Structure 1
Amino acid sequence: MKVLIADKLSANTVNALEGLGLEVVVQPDLTAESLPEAIGEFGILVVRSTKVTAATLKAAKSLSLVIRAGAGVNTIDLATAGELGVYVANCPGKNTAAVAELAIGLLIAADRRIVNATVGMRDGKWEKKEYGKSRGLKGRTLGILGLGNIGMAVAQRAKGLEMNVLAWDGWWLTPELARKLGVEYAASPLELAAASDAVTIHLAASADTQHMINEAFLAKMRDGAILINASRGELVDTEALKAAIAKKGLRVGLDVFENEPAASAKDFAQTDLAALTTCTPHVGASTDEASEAVAEEVVRIVDTFLKTGMPAGVVNVCKQSPAVCSLVVRQKNKVGILADVLDAIRAEKINVLEVTNTLFDGAKAACCSILLEQVPSKDLLAALEAKEDIISVMVNRR
């Protein structure tokens, strides 16, 4: 099988994949526009920042697995991948420390205006009076939007700076859980905005989080507060942010941007925003530690896929099957028995959704669970039970 790596990854990734007997091609300068032409006969595609569009998925002739060498999968067309039977897997948690470190770095840099002071000194200016006006972080409240792996890592580091931590995560966090985790609970994003001296965002991009940081949210933030975004650019309304910086004196640190350039791009057009913020070019996950951790996970995903047919970390399989029942067949481990069972199901025009066959110790017998769209007839069950090599048949309604 051929593997295409369409972004820069650790050399160890290539060596390890080749060690699995795969042919590996690295083309880090590919873009969303050029990838459809390049995908060809590749069976596995590995990307970091490069978008995988419907055009790429439809142009592929042999593609069976796309791996996002990172956490978020919003750059991959999951709907089209599902329609074409292409697995999508990711590597969550492997860049946790790297992103958390950058978020804290941006927080400190925004508070102490490190970048502005550095630029001034490079121009020969000694502006001690101007840059000696920082508020400091000890005793301040850091509001964290999204308390997943990265949000928790930021919370731990903020506590090391003796900050108070306030958190909101509308998908799972409750007041009781917040207490157990050692953070204060915010009932809503707006409540968090009003109560925080600094806010850092660690949420996935989705329809629910698009422009979550909007005019209403920014209006609730305190004058002179700090806003950090090292998650996804789409979460922040850029125009509303620029207006709030001018009106409220917000200090802002950004690693991600709306409509940001591709990883291989050389130019950045949003210079007006850059002039108002402390910013970095989406490098939150770009540390040696994170790269090696992601590389190991990519190899594990591929190895599992080659051995079992199902990749580790897959994100686009049904979490809840639409099946109405499972047909459980215990049978002798002989050639053709399962084929006979499936033929009988097909004769009743019943669609099979999933099949799992488990072998017992000694390899003399097996148990097969078949998820079906409708309940099989009594005649079908009786016909199966009558077969010499079938031990038992059972239907479980779901």
Structure 2
Amino acid sequence: MTKVLIATEKPFAPAAVAQMSKICEDAGYQVQLLEKYTEKEALLEAVGDAHALIVRSDKVDQQVLEAGRELKIVVRAGAGYDNVDTAYAKEKGICVMNTPGQNSNAVAELAIGLAIFAIRNFFNGTSGGELRGRVLGLHGYGYVARNVHRIARGLGMTVKVYTRYSKAQATSEGLEVTNSLEELYAVSDVVSIHVPARGEHIKSVSMDVLKHLKKGAVLVNTARKEVVNEEELCQFMTERADIKYVSDIAPDCTDRFKQEFEGRYYFTPKKIGAQTAEANLNAGVAATEQIVGFLEKGDATFQVNS
């Protein structure tokens, strides 16, 4: 019998697990849950006879893939998949998928919430500002950014974007696409980062780009810390006391922020962009349906290591 392992240090909500289990059972699959595990050995043992693996932020490295002797597919329930060794999975003939779009609204609402929090001076009792009438710059235009655009329009913001890969999508929605990242940062009151932590995007938020930010601008990062050149961000914030930085993932230089930039930053205790009941359910169900589609029909629509 085909076995699906749902391995999550941070478990899915019970309602999500129930729906995921039913999808598997209807397909004639066996489901095994590995939740809140604290030792990697538990995952290595559980994955041994699994044909499919669903994870959240759990690390699926070469050792895990080697242990999964029967693995045919790994699905990361979420958009980012840097926790999975996609290259080695490809060598092993294992399909890796993500579930793009399922967490998008949750992350987008957080991005807007962080922007409001920052522009209102972190609710410290002083007079802040409003988002209406301001320019929002979207650094990237994937699923999350499109939802941020939708919400921002409702708040009365002017939205602009820099993207190399989704220009047609952006222009079809009436968005102005800037000619460069530097131009986007120069015209935006709030910049929201929405690019993956790979390739050209690594440390793309550098001094060369940051130096163009408008006076009093807010930089929002709900992507990954790796897309920011943290050393240069700290240098920039030292030189520009008017800039605020907010994120749902603390940088490696958090101690320096605490020492030097009090009142100008905020980091959530852990990465929480997708931490809503709705996103949890959507991503889990999508991951399970994709496994059934792949194993039964060979549907590899969302494969990320082809």
TM-score calculated relative to the size of structure 1: 0.68
Deviations 1:41-70 (A, max 9, x none): 221111111121122112221111100101
Q: Return the offset for 1:162.
A: 0.9
Q: Return the offset for 1:102.
A: 0.5
1:203 aligned partner: 195
Counterpart-to-counterpart distance in 2, 1:39 and 1:77: 15
Q: Which residue identity does 2:17 align to in structure 1?
A: A
Q: Return the offset for 1:223.
A: 2.8
Deviations 1:5-42 (A, max 9, x none): 22222222234324433332222334795444542222
Q: 1:277 aligns with which of 265, 281, 285?
A: 265
2:110 aligned partner: 102
Counterpart-to-counterpart distance in 2, 1:70 and 1:77: 15
Q: 1:187 aligns with which of 149, 167, 179?
A: 179
RMSD after superposition:
2.2
Q: Return the offset for 1:137.
A: 1.5
Q: Percent identity?
A: 34
1:253 aligned partner: 246
- Which residues in structure 2 correspond to 1:235-254 (within 5 Å)? 235-248=227-240, 249-254=242-247
Q: Is the 8 A contact 1:304 1:312 kept in 2?
A: no
1:233 aligned partner: 225
Q: Is the 8 A contact 1:138 1:161 kept in 2?
A: yes
Q: 1:214 aligns with which of 203, 206, 212?
A: 206
- Which residues in structure 2 correspond to 1:146-185 (within 5 Å)? 146-173=140-167, 178-185=170-177
Q: Is the 8 A contact 1:44 1:63 kept in 2?
A: yes
Q: Is the 8 A contact 1:210 1:234 kept in 2?
A: yes
Counterpart-to-counterpart distance in 2, 1:32 and 1:237: 32
Q: Return the offset for 1:184.
A: 1.8
Counterpart-to-counterpart distance in 1, 2:133 and 2:303: 41
Q: Which residue identity does 2:274 align to in structure 1?
A: A
Greater relative CO (CA pairs within 8 A, separation 6+)? 2
Counterpart-to-counterpart distance in 1, 2:246 and 2:295: 42
Deviations 1:90-140 (A, max 9, x none): 11111111111100000100111235x2xxxxxxxxxx4xx11x2321211
Q: Unaligned 5+ residue runs, structure 1?
A: 118-127, 260-268, 318-398
Q: Is the 8 A contact 1:100 1:154 kept in 2?
A: yes
Q: Which residue identity does 2:265 align to in structure 1?
A: T
Normalized per residue, the structure richer in helix is 2
Give the length in aligned residue pairs: 292
Counterpart-to-counterpart distance in 2, 1:64 and 1:178: 36
Q: Is the 8 A contact 1:32 1:53 kept in 2?
A: no
2:7 aligned partner: 6
Q: Which residue identity does 1:20 align to in structure 2?
A: A
1:379 aligned partner: none
2:32 aligned partner: 25
Larger Rg: 1
Counterpart-to-counterpart distance in 2, 1:155 and 1:242: 28
